[in-house]
Structure 1
Amino acid sequence: MTLELYLWTGYIFIMGLFMGSFFNVVGIRVPEKISLLGRSKCPDCGHQLGVLELIPIIGYIFLRGRCKNCKSHISVKYPIMEFITGFLFAISFVFLHENMIEYILVIVFISLLVIVSVSDLYYQVVPDVVLLVFLPLLLGLRIASPVIVWYEGIIGAVIGFGFMFLMSIYGKIRFQKEALGGGDIKLYGLIGLVLGFNTIFISVLLAGVYGLLYFAILRPKNHYIPFVPFIALGSITAYFVGPYVNEWILNILV
């Protein structure tokens, strides 16, 4: 890596931290139908955050994880999502800086996944309005990007949506309750659009693996475990490693 690339990567990481902070706001406010224009404030006492308090990660450390006014606990999810966004923006730039259209596609994709993960973590919902906003953006960028042929993305969207729809029907029959939410099914349509039909099933597999590891290691006692963060993690991983996995499988078969 050149010095210029290091500097750009650092700048994008910082930008990603602030975007992650904004995505926290979007993911929390949209399900509650709250305007995105208002100042951030403590959910317990309504204290509006000052400039220093709004700085990603640093603000959380400065406040020691508590509201400056009422001393109520601030969820560690906020700085975690900020760091994840910054890291993913930066690492994607390292790999994709020579193809800016594909890079923009990926950071838009990451933005979607972070927002819906936040919504699922707090409200167990994937807002339709968020998916509708990102659909034309991802579709246009997938058509414009030369990395994969545009119709592979369309086929991937159909397969992603169709497969998860069938899985939801099977789960409902098998367990006599909703196994997958409608938002999860629609989300996989957009994931398939970005990944293409060659990689969508790797995303599904990795999401399941991450979910199983979470259960095996932490053994959570909650009845509901948000699955969208695992879908997001599996999809991002699949984007970067999927082509190598496909090549490995092809070499075995041939």
Structure 2
Amino acid sequence: MEAFSFIFGVIFGSFLNVLIYRLPKGISIIKGSFCPKCGNNIPFFYNIPLLSYLFFKAKCATCKGKIPFRYFAVELITGCITLLLFLQVSFSLEFVYLLILFYTLIVLSFIDFEYKQVPDYLLLIGLFFAFLATNDEFLISLKNACIFAGFFVLLEFIITFYIQNIKARLTNNKALQNAKALGEGDIPVIACIAVVLGVESSIVAMFLAGIFAIIPSIFNIILKKDSQIPFIPFLVLGFLFEFFINISSKVLT
């Protein structure tokens, strides 16, 4: 069952790649697989998760165009998360709800990486399944989400005011007048984290997310790159770390 859970996750990761590529572009998700470079259809025997990417050396079998590493990464990450979740929770209704939540967060993370914005309906799906996946009562989960997300709404307002009205004038940078501390999609993801983890563990998850986000920021400073860093992927990474640490500690005790 462990091997099956990993294989299932890898196969589903291939479908998540379809969602990541097609949803922002408005392309039908039921259309057959095709190369993002040349547009040629990919036969199923050329579309084996993980193995095809390695066998064809990250190139399209038809046009030899380079296939982004993201395809391999999403399949591997999805397989690993599915296996870890199965080992900790085993097959149950909670497992299904958490799996859908995690898969949704993976899609949101990689869309945010590429486009710096995410579809609202995916955020709603994630929030819906977060409430289903938690073991707390609905009102307690709702309270946790409101407290934690509300705090960050207030924090976002204060930091954004500083960036737009103080920092913009001090640096004479007009581009900062429209800048925001957090993206609109960050708050619903923060609410999802609070629903599943509770407020105390969510604070740890946010701390981890901040640590993870600092790493690319330092690289940007070193390389003197002025690129916007999406926060959702690091929120999700902090959430996953804290979730599996919590659940592992409960199993050991």
Q: Is this a same-fold pair by TM over 0.5? A: yes
Cα pair 1:153 1:195 within 8 Å, conserved: no
1:77-88 equivalences under 5 Å are: 77-88=70-81
Structure 2 equivalent of residue 60 of structure 1: 53
TM-score (normalised: structure 1)? 0.83
Structure 2 equivalent of residue 139 of structure 1: 131
Structure 2 equivalent of residue 156 of structure 1: 144
Cα pair 1:24 1:78 within 8 Å, conserved: yes
Q: Which residue identity lines up with residue 206 of structure 2 in the other structure?
A: V
Cα pair 1:53 1:62 within 8 Å, conserved: no
Pick closer, same or farther for the CA change 1:41–1:222 going to 2, 3 Å. farther
- What is the alpha-carbon distance in structure 1 between the residues aligned to residue 19 and residue 114 of structure 2? 12
CA RMSD of aligned residues (A): 2.2
Size of the aligned set, in residue pairs, is 233
Q: Which residue identity lines up with residue 42 of structure 1 in the other structure?
A: C
Structure 1 equivalent of residue 112 of structure 2: 120
Tell me how far 1:86 sits from its aligned partner: 0.6
Percent identical among aligned pairs is: 30
**For residues 167-224 of structure 1, what are the alpha-carbon distances to aligned partners after superposition, in whole Å with 9 as ceiling and x for unaligned?**
3212311222212110111221222222222322111111001112344468563512
Q: Which residue identity lines up with residue 207 of structure 1 in the other structure?
A: A
- What is the alpha-carbon distance in structure 2 between the residues aligned to residue 178 and residue 87 of structure 1? 34
1:1-254 equivalences under 5 Å are: 8-97=1-90, 100-142=92-134, 147-176=135-164, 177-216=179-218, 221=225, 223-242=227-246
Cα pair 1:53 1:60 within 8 Å, conserved: no
Cα pair 1:109 1:138 within 8 Å, conserved: yes
Cα pair 1:195 1:239 within 8 Å, conserved: yes
Pick closer, same or farther for the CA change 1:159–1:40 going to 2, 3 Å. farther
**For residues 98-151 of structure 1, what are the alpha-carbon distances to aligned partners after superposition, in whole Å with 9 as ceiling and x for unaligned?**
x72332232122111101012112211121011223333332343xxxx43443
- What is the alpha-carbon distance in structure 2 between the residues aligned to residue 118 and residue 223 of structure 1? 16
Structure 1, unmatched stretches of 5+, are 1-7, 246-254
- What is the alpha-carbon distance in structure 2 between the residues aligned to residue 50 and residue 168 of structure 1? 47
- What is the alpha-carbon distance in structure 1 between the residues aligned to residue 142 and residue 203 of structure 2? 15
Structure 2, unmatched stretches of 5+, are 165-178
**For residues 43-72 of structure 1, what are the alpha-carbon distances to aligned partners after superposition, in whole Å with 9 as ceiling and x for unaligned?**
221011111332111111122111122222
Pick closer, same or farther for the CA change 1:76–1:103 going to 2, 3 Å. same
- What is the alpha-carbon distance in structure 2 between the residues aligned to residue 126 and residue 161 of structure 1? 18
Cα pair 1:65 1:73 within 8 Å, conserved: yes
Structure 1 equivalent of residue 168 of structure 2: none
TM-score (normalised: structure 2)? 0.83
